[in-house]
């Protein structure tokens, strides 16, 4: 089935140790998103790609970076994770630019920072 896949589902890292989260999609969607969701809070948009065009939210910390090497894959790099970065990280896709089209979410990667 076409879907949004996130690996790993659970990631444990040490304070300050770089970590990369992965997302892939078989939907061939143009737009890919990364969200951070902390416990009992709404998902917060970090950035999105429309094709290779990267769009950073104004309040996304510099500690968070992203790469999209091709249509199917998108990576979230956290350069120096702090305790406050422990959260669920959600990847999503949508078909078209300009909005007005449903987002499809992956199952998320839960990041623990020790």
Partner 1 sequence: GESVGLHLPTLSVQEGDNSIINCAYSNSASDYFIWYKQESGKGPQFIIDIRSNMDKRQGQRVTVLLNKTVKHLSLQIAATQPGDSAVYFCAENTGNQFYFGTGTSLTVIP
Q: Residue numbers of the site for partner 1 (CB under 8 A)?
A: 4, 31, 33, 35, 40-45, 48, 50, 55, 57-59, 90, 92, 94, 97-108, 110
What span, in angstroms and rounded, lies between the C-alpha atoms of 7 and 20? Answer: 10
Q: Which of 74, 73, 41, 43 is nearest to 57 (CA)?
A: 43
Task: Give min distance, CB of 16 to partner 1, in A.
Answer: 27
Task: Give min distance, CB of 102 to partner 1, in A.
Answer: 5
Q: Which of 95, 104, 100, 88 is nearest to 41 (CA)?
A: 88
Q: Which of 79, 67, 86 is nearest to 24 (CA)?
A: 67
- 40 sits in the region (left: phi over 0; alpha: psi -120 to 50; else beta) called left
Residue (81 or 108) nearer to partner 1, CB: 108
Displacement of CA 33 from its chain's centroid (Å): 6
Residue (15 or 94) nearer to partner 1, CB: 94
Residue (26 or 55) nearer to partner 1, CB: 55
Task: Give min distance, CB of 70 to partner 1, in A.
Answer: 19
Task: Give min distance, CB of 65 to partner 1, in A.
Answer: 19
């Amino acid at each position: 089935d076409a879907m949004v896949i996130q690996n790993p589902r659970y990631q444990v890292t040490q304070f300050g140790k770089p970590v990369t989260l992965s997302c892939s999609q078989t939907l061939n969607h143009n737009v890919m998103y990364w969200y951070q969701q902390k416990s009992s809070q709404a998902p917060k948009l970090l950035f999105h790609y429309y094709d290779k065009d990267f769009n950073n939210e104004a309040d996304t910390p510099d500690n968070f970076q992203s790469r999209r090497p091709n249509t199917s894959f998108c990576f979230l790099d956290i350069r120096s994770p702090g305790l406050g970065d422990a959260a669920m990280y959600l990847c999503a896709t949508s078909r078209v630019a300009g909005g007005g089209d449903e987002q499809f979410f992956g199952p998320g990667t839960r990041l623990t920072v020790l």
